[in-house]
Amino acid sequence: MRLNHNLNLAYCTNIHRGENWAQTFESLQTHTLAVRDAVAAGEPFAIGLRLSEVASRELSDPTTLENFQQWLADEHCYVFTINGFPFGNFHGTRVKEQVYVPDWTSPERLEYTNRLFDLIAALVPEGVEGSVSTLPGSFKEFITDAAQEKAIRDNLWKCVEHIASLSERTGKALHLGLEPEPLGYFETSAETIAFFEQLRAEHPDDARLAAHLGVNYDTCHLAVEYEEAADALGAFRAAGIRISKLHLSAALKVTPDADTRARLKPFEEDVYLHQVIERQPDGTLTRHRDLDVALAAETNADEWRIHFHIPLHCPDGEWFASTRDHIDGVLDMLQTDPSLCSHLEMETYTWEVLPAEMKNLTVVEQLVNEYDWTLAQLRARKLA
């Protein structure tokens, strides 16, 4: 939906199953329109679209694309952003580290992302920027030599060239957001800035980099890294890196005593990676690849932050808290300067794997509650 200061808010449709275009479109008709009717009846409704590689090829068919454009017009909906992180299947089977495959070392990732930009350029309304979000280059474990690192930078630059050419041809303002994530090739704000500095060194004084490549800032991910919103966003801005999109999401935060570790067992599941970063009393951080690894290890940590997206409206429990305070920090920064970023997207994709006590609503009801919570935060800051 359109908010004050030309901001746009959507939920990411990666919460729904849909690995081809027919399934994706069915979810839009079944779930997205129901959410629209509950939160924005009669108003233009924004869609944060997730397209798999297969769905992107199918939607690129001219007749299929024209039919979707007409459906958007008929339903008073619009698309301003596409989630291009997951390439293939994202529900109902083991995803884990395979969500990074193919990564930015490969031509397949470049071809897929370029196709997503062709689609967003055709879908985004006049006067609205179009964004695509993608993985932070690769998974850290996958990168073992300098040739792979160079391939990541080269393929991303080819994508920047494609975006720049497309923007000039269509008159649309388009940009790609790299999404730092725990155990990604770059995961912290410092690592991300260092990566951008390498790109700048290879393409000095080329304005296309700043215009068309930025960061997809996921509030869950940076909170799991124990970063403060003002510090991380301030560092990106000081480095001249645009914020392409803000993902509004929350992580689990716990004190890992024996009772809490037992209560975390229902969050151990086989679909997604749930990286854990533990903090020792002296401030030292230790990273665990997944929740089961952390639970099996000895620990003297005073806090764990767990990459498990929990509903934004979910209140803290007796044994856990969330990292919603990081969202507060981001929105405070946005209130101070609404030009920080015009794309906001709620991204709680874990609905299918939530423990039963957090899953007592339908997916539509959950999404409506997430809108209610988010809009309340935005209205309190006069952003909506």
In the chain, pLDDT over 70 holds for what percent of residues?
100
pLDDT for res 359: 87
Contacts of 324 (CB under 8 A, 6+ apart): 250, 312
Question: Per-domain residue ranges for the chain?
Answer: 4-250+322-380
Quick check: 3 pLDDT over 90?
yes
pLDDT digits (tens, 9 = 90+) for 305-346: 999 999 999 999 999 999 999 999 999 999 999 999 999 999
pLDDT confidence tier of residue 357, bands split at 50, 70 and 90: confident
pLDDT for res 360: 85
pLDDT digits (tens, 9 = 90+) for 290-310: 999 999 999 999 999 999 999
Contacts of 152 (CB under 8 A, 6+ apart): 103, 104, 105, 137, 138, 143, 185
pTM above 0.75, yes or no: yes
Q: Is residue 327 within 8 Å of residue 248, measured between CB atoms?
A: yes
pLDDT for res 297: 96
CATH number of 4-250+322-380: 3.20.20.150
pLDDT digits (tens, 9 = 90+) for 205-227: 999 999 999 999 999 999 999 99
Contacts of 57 (CB under 8 A, 6+ apart): 115
Phi, psi at residue 264, to the nearest 5°? -80, -10
pLDDT digits (tens, 9 = 90+) for 48-62: 999 999 999 999 999
